[in-house]
Structure 1
């Protein structure tokens, strides 16, 4: 009778787990595959041309958040702002009306975007505003505006001050026959002093440190496709050695194409690279389920996919205009940031599923711990969303929170199971299937939609 009662309780527990996981899976798929990309926040790119007496800036940016008054500092999804409705309305305006709205907002922009010569603030005069026609209003529209300024007499260097409210910006000094300043302000701030005659004053160490956060943020939180690929590598095995060889091969490969593409030696359109990256996510998820360990061909496949992901990273650096000054430092810094981001993803995933891995090795059921993970999977998402809603915008972290809740649920399912295969059956395989489904959706979306 005791055995029957216990079996009934376990059946109920399994049923609760399955129901919970099904609901969370649906939420995660919706978060990953819907409007996250449509309302993503894109960094601006500024081309700065300096002459002895004049300055001209050309800025490529999504103007709608600027006009709507959205605070882009730390934001990765405009839907997370309380001004998102106004942002969506502006996206639907024809070019002439949006240009008029931007010109009306230009005086307010003067407080958030300034040019300085030495200690003197130089007024910027808005010149042209080039806005594309309305396409898909659910997608960001990148526009271009130019402004000019009269510089005071002398040779005082120029600095650009960019408010954190405007998000990130890459600043590139333009000029014929000379190497100019390049830098990236991840969350606003002020550039180094930029000589009017060209030439970067940024040293090797400063350039390296500046580009580490650029690489990191293009994994966490902006690189959801790269995050899923790295998780696909992680879920192949609980052993360190297979993971080490996969990550090493992936790192070496994407470093090669990242350097070649950033130097302009290799050019592959994003319309080709992005679907193939989605296909790589689909592949690792499927092979994780079918394979029993690291196959002889997997490192070769990982190298090929690493080359693809490097091309994806390179599009970021190309937009930022690395230039030749301190190129190696910037490239190394970006790669370091990417690797820190990847290791962070792996470390967090391991911490969440460590109990299931340990349970597999010991081969014993741990019901109290499993119920604790079930409770956490119910509470972690709303609790963290509530906390982060007070501290920062949550748009960019919602998929991460949902993924954490799912992994907690998978771990709970493994802990109430028995046998040495419980981790693989209840954690690695379901997670890999979810990764593969997301990759398949992205592939179809990027090719056909």
Structure 2
């Protein structure tokens, strides 16, 4: 029972996804001048909540964050302008060792009346870069960030994933030396992995649900293969704009997929013949969810296929890490015990299924 209690306590934080912290996205657009677009959770930055918290509710500054989140957009903008919080220091551009000067043009805070949902604001800045050939982007924000450097034609010459308080690799401002294939691949693998661990709680719980009914390699491989093939197909098709579904439809259905898998775990003690087919269909939905992330980040224009594959590899590595953790935590130790199903599989499936059901309600009725 202690093991079960530990598992439940581990899963319960996933239910508090309303204040999830997402990575920021910074785009530097080069041309006659230079423009910076910083897509960031301003409330978290103002409160000083870093990326070491997956959810703002777990941070000591949670009450401060909630106060900022309750503010209407115009009031939050006014607070930012009057607080002395220097938005020009969030993302800085360094050219041959000289920091460029930028000014804030606009702060756009979306109206989101459901206070349980985070909101990403966009800060637009403009400036003139010093003369030089090599640039670096310095990120001083509290959360992780995905950066994109576009040349004057709007083509990406550099993309990278950065931790908080860090700087990018050097990039050629003239675009004469585009980002290497190896750099693109490594960056997108990290982005894909991060979308599963630690940010992708809905995908994590779905994979855990698959594991619970099949804690042996054979049946689990069938399910994971079906899931992988499905989300690879829809990820590619959605990225190529062949298919598209709004997040308002995809996200609730992903939540229901978690609940369905867990209900089946409770009702049967073996993998049914139709289970891989059902998992494949749900994998199509999860692929559309992955595509939403890539839609925000964008793909490398020069290495489009490589960046798409690398993102998918990162996702798979994240899923394999989840499965490995499950095997090490309970699978290899207890799967052959007579009480395994009653003490581990059924209670854990009930908890995860209820979390999925709550997310469905949160994403539909409470949205």
Q: Same fold (TM over 0.5)?
A: yes
In 1: Cα distance, 2:200 partner to 2:177 partner: 30
Report if aligned partners of 2:11, 2:352 keep a CA contact under 8 Å in 1: no
In 2: Cα distance, 1:22 partner to 1:83 partner: 28
Aligned length: 364
Structure with greater helix percent: 1
Aligned match of 1:50? 30
The structure 2 residue matched to 1:39, chosen from 19, 22, 30, is: 19
How far the C-alpha of 1:109 sits from its partner, in A, is: 4.1
Deviates more, 1:39-48 or 1:273-282: 39-48
Closer, same or farther: CA 116–285 of 1 in aligned 2, 3 Å: same
In 1: Cα distance, 2:222 partner to 2:7 partner: 32
Aligned match of 1:170? 146
- Cα RMSD over matched residues? 2.6
How far the C-alpha of 1:320 sits from its partner, in A, is: 0.4
The structure 2 residue matched to 1:152, chosen from 127, 130, 149, is: 130
Q: Any idea what SS the aligned residue of 1:45 has? A: strand
Aligned match of 1:315? 292
Closer, same or farther: CA 200–293 of 1 in aligned 2, 3 Å: farther
In 2: Cα distance, 1:223 partner to 1:23 partner: 20
The structure 2 residue matched to 1:205, chosen from 174, 182, 198, is: 182
How far the C-alpha of 1:247 sits from its partner, in A, is: 0.7
Deviates more, 1:57-66 or 1:91-100: 91-100
Structure with greater strand percent: 2
Aligned match of 2:335? 357
How far the C-alpha of 1:105 sits from its partner, in A, is: 5.1
Structure 1 length as normaliser, TM-score? 0.74
The structure 2 residue matched to 1:101, chosen from 55, 68, 79, is: 79
How far the C-alpha of 1:29 sits from its partner, in A, is: 7.1
Report if aligned partners of 2:147, 2:162 keep a CA contact under 8 Å in 1: no
1:130 aligns with 2:108: yes
Aligned match of 1:115? 93
Aligned match of 2:240? 263
Q: Any idea what SS the aligned residue of 2:196 has? A: coil
Closer, same or farther: CA 80–51 of 1 in aligned 2, 3 Å: same
Structure 2 length as normaliser, TM-score? 0.89
Closer, same or farther: CA 41–23 of 1 in aligned 2, 3 Å: closer
Q: Any idea what SS the aligned residue of 1:93 has? A: coil
1:438 aligns with 2:355: yes
Aligned match of 1:215? 192
Closer, same or farther: CA 229–69 of 1 in aligned 2, 3 Å: closer
How far the C-alpha of 1:316 sits from its partner, in A, is: 0.8
In 2: Cα distance, 1:23 partner to 1:179 partner: 49
How far the C-alpha of 1:210 sits from its partner, in A, is: 1.2
In 2: Cα distance, 1:346 partner to 1:21 partner: 18
- 1:355-396 residue CA offsets vs partner (Å, 9 max, x unmatched): 3224x3xxxxxxxxxxxxxxxxxxxxxxxxxxxxxxxxxxxx
- 1:21-45 residue CA offsets vs partner (Å, 9 max, x unmatched): 68985x5675333xx2222112222
In 2: Cα distance, 1:67 partner to 1:440 partner: 32
Q: Any idea what SS the aligned residue of 2:115 has? A: coil
Q: Larger C-alpha radius of gyration, 1 or 2?
A: 1
How far the C-alpha of 1:186 sits from its partner, in A, is: 3.6
Q: Any idea what SS the aligned residue of 2:325 has? A: helix
Structural mapping, 1:20-419, within 5 Å? 25=8, 31-33=13-15, 36-52=16-32, 54-70=33-49, 72-104=50-82, 108-133=86-111, 135-153=113-131, 156-163=133-140, 165-174=141-150, 177=153, 179-188=155-164, 189-198=166-175, 201-353=178-330, 354-358=332-336, 360=337
Report if aligned partners of 2:93, 2:99 keep a CA contact under 8 Å in 1: yes
In 2: Cα distance, 1:309 partner to 1:199 partner: 38
**Structure 2 runs not aligned, ≥5 long:** none
| Runs of 4+ in structure 1 over 3 Å off | 20-25, 27-32, 104-112, 173-178, 192-200
Closer, same or farther: CA 324–226 of 1 in aligned 2, 3 Å: same
